[in-house]
Structures are given as C-alpha cells and as structure tokens.
Amino acid sequence: MPEGDTIYRAAQTLHRALSSHIVVRFESVFPALMRVHDDSPMTGRTIEQVSSAGKHLLMRFSGGDILRTHMRMSGSWHIYRPGERWRRPHRDMRILVATQDFEAVGFSIPVAEFIKADRVGKHRELGRLGPDLLDEEFDAGEATRRLRSRADAPAADALLDQRVMAGIGNVYKCEVLFLCGVNPFAPVDGLGDRQVACLIETARNLLRANVSMGLAPMTTYTGLRRTTGRDDPRERLWVYGRAGLPCRKCGTRIQVKKHGPDARLTYWCSGCQE
C-alpha cells in the first residue's frame, strides 16, 4: 500500500502539472463521480490545488468540489502528455482528468469520491485523521496525546492507526519500531516517554527524508524507499522484508508475523527490540 511519502510525492507531481489549468476532459468508470460531473461538469473548471492528507490525495477544483482518492494496495496516478502512450492498459483506468497540456490518469484506484471543500473537516475519514507527519505544522504534542490514548493497543497497531498520525504505513511501522528499539507487540501504556517521543520523531524524519530527494517523477513514487541511509538498494531497509536474514546491527535473525486486524506482516529483531 502506498504510504504517506508516496501520496505526498504524487500530489506534488500532479500539482506541478495541473494547478491553475482548466479541465478540458473528465472521465471515470465510477458512476457516482460521473453523476456529479453530469450535474455540474468538471470541464471548464480550474484545478486549484492537488495536495495530500496522510494517504488520501485531494484534487481541488474551482467551484468548491474536491476529488478524494485513496490508493489502497494497487492504485496509482500517472501523468502523460496528450497522445502519449499509457504505460498501463486502458481497462485499468478509473479516472481521467485532462488539461490542454497534461492527462492525469488514475489506474486501479478503488476509492474515489467528490466532497465539498467546506465539508472536509466533517468527512468520515478526513475529519478523524491525526496530525499529518508531512505537514509543516505537524503537532507532535497532539500526536503524543493520540498515541497515549491507544493505551491497550500493541505499538505496531497504534502506529498504523491513521487517527493517531496520518501517513505511516506497514513499511515505516516496522522500520520505526526497530530504530526505536520497541517491541511491536508491547502495549502503548508500557512505553516510556522517551520511547513515545522516539516513535513520533523517527516516523516524521523517515517520511520527510523520502520526499526530499529531488523532483518527483511523473507517476506515484514507487522507488526504493530508504531508511538506512545506504545507497546500495540491497541495504536500504533495516528489517522490513528481511525475514530470516541477520539483523544489520546485532546479527539476530529477523522474525516476521502476521499481526493486527488486517493480518499485516510485522518484521522485527528480537535482539534489538526486547
């Protein structure tokens, strides 16, 4: 699943290409989107902004409508010049927003809806998001309060809760817990203040490091996310995806377990994360 850094980079790419330009074509396979378009066409409107909110991508049109998309596991946005051949088959297209200069194509996107700009704060998902880890005005104090409120939850589950902090996903969950030496299955109320502060600061630092590596490509970012700071692609992560391999710090074999409501894979080092 794309995490907050991926969506942030996608939003920045789409914003650079589309913002301040007029929509000349809008298509979607989603009947609900097309009903809105039929009643109040997107064509002729200006794309005012494309931004991210955690794992949600928000495309704001003049007239007060916002297109919210969520990628889940397989969705992505691509940008093409008019007439350029798509790198995905047309059957995977879910949404197309075109200006005179660019076509933004959403492929395999499972969640999409129009919402009114003045209703964002009351939206069932957006209104409950915790502080966005990539927001310049990130509120660490509020994140701490929300994390502490999940007292009985295992640390791994609490970090994935978008109501605690928005943007962190399964890869960062595992990497953050490792770097802070926190057992993924330890309850939040058993963590010390330094551990909680480490989880929040490390999560923010890792996401920020992975969106500040130069200009984003004209697709959602699917490159080699790094948490170790090493250039070798084989050494880019500490524990995620490394089950059975020796820990890069202590040599203990990395373990993996399906965990949480969605049975997400959790990777950890029993030597470093007691």
Q: Can you give the pLDDT at residue 1?
A: 58
Which tokens is 30 given?
Answer: 């989603």
CATH number, position 55: 3.20.190.10
In a 3-state reduction of DSSP, which class is residue 247?
coil
Indicate if 101 and 156 belong to the same structural domain. no
Indicate if 47 and 86 belong to the same structural domain. yes
Question: Residue 134 falls within a domain, yes or no?
Answer: no
Quick one: pLDDT band at residue 219, thresholds 50, 70, 90?
Answer: very low
Which residue among 128, 157, 186 closes a domain?
128
Indicate if 231 and 162 belong to the same structural domain. yes
Question: Residue 274 falls within a domain, yes or no?
Answer: no
Question: Residue 133 falls within a domain, yes or no?
Answer: no
Q: pLDDT digit string (tens) for 9-40?
A: 999 999 999 999 999 999 999 999 999 999 99
Please name which of 64, 58, 66, 56 lies closest in space to residue 115, comparing C-alpha atoms. 66
Give the mean pLDDT of 194-198.
98
Prediction pTM value:
0.89
Q: Can you give the pLDDT at residue 178?
A: 98
Question: Residue 93 falls within a domain, yes or no?
Answer: yes
In angstroms, rounded to a whole number, what is the distance separating the alpha carbons of residues 260 and 264? 6
Long-range contacts at 150-154 (CB < 8 A, ≥ 24 apart): 150/188, 151/187, 151/188, 151/189, 152/187, 152/188, 152/189, 153/187, 153/188, 154/184, 154/185, 154/186, 154/187, 154/188, 154/259, 154/260
Question: Residue 78 falls within a domain, yes or no?
Answer: yes
Mind telling me the catalytic residues? 2-3, 55
What is the residue range of 91's domain?
A: 4-128
Indicate if 182 and 208 belong to the same structural domain. yes
Indicate if 144 and 264 belong to the same structural domain. yes
